[in-house]
Amino acid sequence: MTVLHPDFDAGIAADLLGRMRRKAPRVHCITNAVAQHFTANVLLALGAIPSMTIAPEEVATFAAGADALLVNLGTLDDTRRAAIPKAIEAAKGAGKPFVLDPVFVNRSPVRCSYAQELLASSPTVLRANRDELAALFPGQDPLEALAGPSATLAVTGAEDLISGPGGTIRLANGHPLLARVTATGCAGGAVIAAFLAVSDDPVQAAASALTVFNIAGEAAAARARGPGTLVPELLDALYLIDETRIAERLKRV
């Protein structure tokens, strides 16, 4: 996890953003009840298409037909527990990437155990913060413990670390105001899924997604008066972000 990825730059992030907007991938999101509305709007603002059903009787069809899948454990109720395995099996059977976001596994042993079971399904990207990783992989190197030859880890925080095949990328974009609005991190997981749909390199896809989302967050925070105005500003910033803004603002560590 110490080899720096040599190729990632603003041009790659902008190229993948352009590819994503041209393709308009559908991302099926099994996400938490708090995040559903905001996540859908974030994807739409960027140019992707959300689908959000969690009904166990139809989720497999939705997931198989989507271009990528997000599984977020933020509100892990019985319906989501029933839907998640069906969606993962369908997405993987169709050769589609999926992101696992094990929200708050550090707060619930039951949820942590369930997330550890889901890791056996080899998520394309595991997105988590450092506390969640410590709960999932006690005493282990998370990247070494992940199943699958192309598994990628996206560790988010004040600095983001993306690590997988090809090396590690460290990024430092973002703004503290993003943490004052619920579901911004959860929506970021959906953006990673959208970028995975247009790239064969999960490290570059995850790094590009976080770059785009966090630079848009900086632009939004500069215009917002507080959390209440951040959300509309963020949606506008995601809609307007381009190669020039990315090149001006990208911060690699």
Q: Are 172 and 252 in contact (CB under 8 A)?
A: yes
Cβ neighbour number for residue 149 with a 10 Å cutoff:
8
Per the annotation, does 20 bind a ligand?
A: no
Q: Is 183 known as a binding-site position?
A: yes
Query: Cα dist. 117→111, 132, 180, 222 in Å?
Result: 10, 15, 31, 41
Distance CA 206, CA 145 (A): 19
Token representation of residue 176: 């503290």
21 annotated to bind ligand: no
Beta bridge partners of 125: 99, 152
Residue numbers belonging to the annotated binding site for substrate: 52, 183
Residue numbers belonging to the annotated binding site for ATP: 127, 156
Residue numbers belonging to the annotated binding site: 52, 127, 156, 183
